[in-house]
Amino acid sequence: MLLACYGLLAIATTIVPPVSNLLAFALATIAIALHSSLQHEALHGHPTRHSGLNEALVFPAIGLLIPYRRFRDLHLAHHVDTRLTDPYDDPESNFFCPDDWARMPRWVQLIYRLNNTLAGRILLGPALSMICMVKSDLQAVRRGEPGVAQAWALHAIGLVPVIWWLATIATMPVWIYAAAAYFGFGLLKIRTYLEHRAHESPAGRTVIIEDRGFFAWLFLNNNYHIVHHSHPGAPWYRMQAYYYADPLKYQALNDAYVYRNYREIFARHLFRAKDPLVHPMLDQG
C-alpha cells in the first residue's frame, strides 16, 4: 500500500499533468489522503514492530501541513477513550465548553457553525485545524513542552524531498500540488466528521460505518472505528474481519451508532450539522 501511494503520487505529479491538470489534482489529492491513513497505521505500530522504521516509511511530508510526530502524539492522547469528545482533554474533539462558546465573537461562531456541516468540514476544516494547531503548538513551545519544536523541525526536513521533487522532476504546478495537499486533508475530514459523538458510555461515542467502497479503502477501514478503538494494535486489513465476525457485539458496544455507508452520510449531513457545537453533557452540567 505504501508503494501504491507513492507510485500514485509520482504518476499524478509527472505523467498526468501534461494530459490533464484536473485529473492530476484529483489523483494527487487521493494519494495525499491515503498517505495520512498510512501515517495513522505507522503510529499504531505497522507495518513493522520498529517505530523508527515505521516513521521512516512515511517520513516524506507529502501532505505539507501536519508534522507526523504531532499527529502521533495528539492521536495517541485521543485514544484514552474515557476522554473522548472532552473539549479540553481530547485533542481531536470538535465540541466546545459553554463558557468558551459564549465568549466567541459572533463571526467566529458562524465559521464554526459552517464547519459543523460535512461540506463545511471539507472546505473549512483543514484551515481551522491548522490555525488551531499552530496557535496551540506555539504556546507549547513557549512553555518548553518537550517534543513539539522537534516535531516541526523534523517536518521541515520531511518537506525537503517533496520540494526537491516538485522543483526538479514533477510537471505539476506547485499551486496545484498545494491545493491537492489542502483538499487531501479535506478528504480526511470526511472520516473524522462522524467518528465520535457525545455519549455517557466511552464505547458509545465511537462510530461504525459499514462501507466497503472507495472511502473505506482510502481511510484503510478506519470507518469501522469502534473496532479500531477496541483493537488499536490491529492492522487495517483485519478491521473488517474483526467487525463482521460479530457485528452485533460492536453495535451493542457503541449503542447502535451505525451508518450503512458514506452515501447515507452525505445525504444526511452535507449541509446539516450532526451534533451541537457545545458539548451537550457539559451544557447540562
Read off φ and ψ for residue 217, nearest 5 degrees.
-65, -45
262, three cell numbers: 458514506
Average pLDDT, the chain: 95
- pLDDT tens figures, 181-202: 999 999 999 999 999 999 999 9
CB atoms within 10 A of CB 106: 7
This prediction has a pTM of 0.94
Closest by Cα among 250, 197, 236, 232 to 90: 197
Residue 196 three-state SS:
strand
Are the beta carbons of 185 and 65 closer than 8 angstroms? yes
Ranges of residues in the chain with a pLDDT under 70 are 283-285
Domain boundaries of the chain, sorted by first residue: 194-274
Report pLDDT for 256: 95
Read off φ and ψ for residue 280, nearest 5 degrees.
-65, -30
Contacts of 283 (CB under 8 A, 6+ apart): 98, 276
Report pLDDT for 283: 52
Residue 259 three-state SS:
strand
Report pLDDT for 282: 77
Whole-angstrom Cα distance, residue 118 to residue 66?
Answer: 21
Residue 72 three-state SS:
helix
